Amino acid sequence: MSASQPIPADRVFVLDFGAQYSQLIARKVREQGVYAEIVPGEISAEQLAQRGPRGIILSGGPASVYEDGAPDCDPGIFALGVPVLGICYGLHLMVSRLGGEVAGGQGREYGSADLSWNVASPLSAGLPSSMSCWMSHGDAAKRLPDGFLRLATTDNCAEAAIGDPARRFYAVQFHPEVTHTPQGSALLANFVHGVCGCGNDWNMGSFVTHAIDNIREQVGAGRVLCALSGGVDSAVLAALAHRAIGDQLTCVFVDHGLLRADEAEQVKAAFADSGLKLVAVDASERFLSKLAGVDDPERKRRIIGHEFIEVFTHTQRELGDFEFLAQGTIYPDVIESGGPKAAKIKSHHNVGGLPEKLGFKLVEPLRWLFKDEVRRVGEELGLPASMVWRQPFPGPGLAVRVVGEITPDRLEIVRLSDKILRDEIALAGLDRAIAQYFTVCAPVRSVGVMGDARSYLYPVIVRAVTTDDFMTARPARLPHEVMEKIATRVVNEVPGVNRCLYDLSSKPPATIEWE
């Protein structure tokens, strides 16, 4: 942060105990106009005090407080005189650290629950007395520490929200940071504004200034190669880096043979007049031959990550000396690839695939943002709406949608059906309403009848989800006529397909992509 843009005085620190949702907490706090930063859960009270917190949030996490090696916090943070909010595991930590007791197993709750507020406090100011909330826990508080009151309950959890208003300590068993707790943002706003007394001095404009300063500082006079996929993240990254360092930036667009129909041409056209230096590399043969015969999703992802780096290294040699590689890595890529404490869900190509001895220094200014925050940065930078509001497309491309081994015929099935789906969704005027939609080809075949003959062909699965943050998602409610038209066209127009299915799974427990 430069001297002209000091970190706002009102800052909240999220102590991370390995939750899938830690960054979501920080981002929901930032949405309230309050600067929030994630720090390791084991940070000492002294280090934290030096950073001047107005509030502290203890995140959730996959562990159980009494397990060996369970993440712990410095008990000194409860003596700083700063308000603390515990979330899920953070509640267990607060309860056990302050002299109460946590018990495992009895009150397991996963999914939506109805919660009632029983005792008024600043945490629930203005919230309805009954509301739904998202639960995901095995342990629960059994005995509260001295000074704590039970503030809210659900059918399965007597201590769904607790608090010690005198010390300004609060904790919730549910997850206020996920969209499935509709009043969650209001609760977090109550904590940061009502309990901690923070103002509203953080916004995307401050982020852009901050990020540009950081890029300039990191890169100095060095040259930067930027991996441009044409998706929102890398486009915003390129615009940000271009604004920061101008001609020191060269963008590389790699066609890995796993792009959607017409995509390579569209991306080249979109950046043709942008003033960015853009080099297009056709590496499709190389990627597809390395992927031949590989059916394990993680191996596929690692191969793609590795090949990307190889191509960049090669391009670097051809184009001259580049010290830095800019990547549009965003927070869900980082968290789902697993961290020191978070569980690994899948290796996003730009995280899990990186070899240890990478010849580049990485520039990743979007690493702490979510997709919708990246879009707001794009708007702040003046990028066209067609670019900012593009649906996301994963770096490994169609490789993660051809489930199992990638063969030319199944890749073509996904490419053709995806084009039909995109055309029909646009025709129905639904493209802005649905966050992401695509097709998948499963590695099974089923019997059908076409004309008078038996067929034994692949199914196409349509996946369409609504989500704000891509960390949780729900199946989109497509009108039946639209679904039927898509299914008819897919089965009639895509060779090798005799069935079309709709994926009705939420995330969690499913993920958005199939691999």
Residue 395 CB, shortest distance to ligand XMP, in Å, is 4
Q: By rule CB under 6 A, what string of x and - marks binding of each residue 330-369 to ligand XMP?
A: --xx--x---------x-xx--------------------
Q: Which of 73, 88, 133, 196 is catalytic?
A: 88
DSSP 3-state assignment of 255?
A: strand
Interaction between residue 159 and ligand XMP (CB under 6 A):
no
Count of Cβ atoms closer than 10 Å to residue 162 Cβ: 27
> Least Å distance between CB 466 and ligand XMP?
12
Instruction: Indicate if the alpha-carbon torsion angle 28, 32, 38, 44 is positive or negative.
Output: negative
Helix (H, G, I), strand (E, B) or coil at 236: helix
**Beta carbons of 289 and 428 less than 8 angstroms apart:** no
Cα 335 to chain centroid, rounded = 7
Considering the candidates 109, 159, 177, 307, report the single residue annotated as catalytic.
177
Binding mask 314-333 for ligand XMP (x = CB under 6 A): ------------------xx
Q: How far is the CB of 89 from ligand XMP (least distance, A)?
A: 22
Amino acid code (one letter) for 320? G
Please state the closest distance from residue 355 (CB atom) to ligand XMP, in A: 16
Compose the 370-399 pattern: x for residues touching ligand XMP by CB under 6 A, - for all others: ----------------------x-xxx---
Q: In the chain, count of helices (H) and strands (E)?
A: 15, 21
Three-class HEC string of 356-422: CCCCCEEECCCCCCCHHHHHHHHHHCCCCHHHHCCCCCCCCHHHHCECCCCCHHHHHHHHHHHHHHH
Q: 243-272: which residues touch ligand XMP (CB under 6 A)?
A: none
Side-chain-side CA neighbours of residue 291 (13 Å): 35
Segment interacting with ligand XMP, rule: CB under 6 A, options 88-96, 162-170, 411-419, 504-512: 504-512
Q: Considering only CA atoms, which of 130, 135, 167 is closest in space to residue 152?
A: 130
Please report, for residues 304, 308, 317, 488, the alpha-carbon distance to residue 354 in angstroms, rounded to integers and kept in the order given: 10, 9, 18, 42
Q: How far is the CB of 211 from ligand XMP (least distance, A)?
A: 19
Subset of 425-444 contacting ligand XMP (CB under 6 A): 436
Active site residue 348: no
92, 175, 193, 242: the active-site residue:
175
Q: Which is nearer to ligand XMP, 16 or 513 (CB)?
A: 513
- Minimal distance, residue 231 CB to ligand XMP, in Å: 7
**Known catalytic membership, residue 193:** no
Q: How far apart are CA 377 and CA 271, in angstroms?
A: 18
Tokens of 154: 């659900």
Specify the pairing of strand 169-172 against strand 84-87. parallel
230 scored as a contact of ligand XMP (CB under 6 A): no
C-beta closer to ligand XMP: residue 82 or 461: 461
Nearer to ligand XMP, 137 or 349 (CB): 349
Select 11 or 349, whichever has its Cβ closest to ligand XMP.
Answer: 349
Q: Which of 491, 305, 506, 355 is CA-nearest to residue 416?
A: 491
> Would you say 286 and 254 are in contact if contact means Cβ atoms under 8 Å apart?
no
Closer residue to ligand XMP in complex, CB, 5/506: 506
Nearest residue (CB) to ligand XMP, 225 versus 435? 435
Q: Do the Cβ atoms of 114 and 155 come closer than 8 Å?
A: yes
Residue 469 touching ligand XMP (CB under 6 A): no
Q: How far is the CB of 229 from ligand XMP (least distance, A)?
A: 7
Closer residue to ligand XMP (CB): 378 or 394: 394
The site that binds ligand XMP (CB under 6 A) totals a number of residues, namely 16
> Taking the complex as a whole, how short is the minimal distance between the CB of residue 467 and ligand XMP, in angstroms?
8
The DSSP 8-state label assigned to residue 3 in this structure reads: T
Spatial separation of the C-alpha atoms in residues 9 and 13, rounded to whole Å: 12
133 part of the active site: no
Mapping DSSP onto H, E and C, the string for 438-459 reads: EEEECCCCEEEEECCEEEEEEE
Please report, as ranges, the residues that interact with ligand XMP according to CB under 6 A. 332-333, 336, 346, 348-349, 392, 394-396, 436, 470, 507, 511-513
> Active-site residue numbers?
88, 175, 177
